[in-house]
């Protein structure tokens, strides 16, 4: 699939078929994540792939009880590790959020290129998901996504975005 078509047609998918994700497709999605850029190439992140039903339900509960998340064949939880430098002079040890977000973006775009749907979940409790998964103290959840083949709807271009003039300004 052409790159700009991937970007134009990526959508938040909230209903999934129970069709398993082929290992090679998931491998390509995860590889796109692995090779994404990070500050000083430190890759202060980890991506947990959860396929077991009860574990997916615990994660969905930690995502403000959005139980539809558990219906996807897999759920990916992206975590980051505190870093010993501050981006922009104000981000502090939470600077890892930028790097994890870059990698997560590549993950969801790669998933779209494979015909897989995702939904970047921002409504979650770091503490609840860490407890549900037994994550160590030095890992913090940045994002969660279900991943699988869409059950309803289609991938189409979103025309309800702001115009370029509204979001950009050329500085001379």
CA distance 109 to 98: 17
Task: Calculate the average pLDDT of the chain.
Answer: 93
Q: Which residue has the tokens 């980051």?
A: 80
Percent of the chain exceeding pLDDT 70 equals 97
Does the pLDDT at position 153 exceed 70?
no
Q: What is the pLDDT of residue 47?
A: 98
Q: Taking the domain 3-154, which CATH number applies?
A: 3.40.109.10
Listed by start position, the domains of the chain span 3-154
Residue 82's pLDDT band (cuts 50, 70, 90): confident
Q: 161 versus 140: which is more confidently predicted?
A: 140
Q: Which residue has the tokens 């992140």?
A: 45
Lowest mean pLDDT among 15-24, 123-132, 163-172: 163-172
Q: Which residue has the tokens 């995860």?
A: 30
Q: What is the pLDDT of residue 95?
A: 82
Q: For the whole prediction, is pTM greater than 0.85?
A: yes
Q: What is the pLDDT of residues 28-45, one digit of tens each?
A: 999 999 999 998 888 999
In the numeric block, which tokens belong to residue 116?
């897989």
Mean pLDDT for 102-106 is: 97
Q: What is the pLDDT of residue 91?
A: 74
């Amino acid at each position: 699939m052409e790159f700009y078509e991937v970007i134009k047609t990526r959508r938040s998918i909230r209903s999934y078929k129970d069709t398993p994700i082929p290992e090679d497709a998931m491998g390509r999605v995860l590889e796109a994540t692995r090779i994404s850029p990070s500050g000083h190439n430190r890759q202060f992140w980890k991506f947990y792939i959860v396929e077991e039903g009860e574990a997916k339900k615990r994660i969905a509960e930690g995502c403000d009880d959005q139980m539809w998340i558990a219906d996807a064949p897999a759920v990916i939880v992206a975590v980051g590790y505190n870093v010993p430098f501050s981006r922009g002079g104000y981000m502090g040890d939470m600077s890892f959020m930028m790097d994890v977000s870059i990698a997560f973006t590549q993950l969801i775009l790669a998933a779209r290129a494979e015909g897989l749907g995702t939904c970047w979940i921002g409504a979650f409790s770091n503490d609840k998901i860490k407890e549900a998964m037994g994550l160590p103290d030095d890992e913090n959840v940045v994002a969660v996504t279900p991943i699988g083949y869409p059950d309803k709807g289609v991938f189409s271009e979103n025309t309800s975005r702001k115009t370029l003039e509204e979001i950009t300004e050329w500085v001379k």
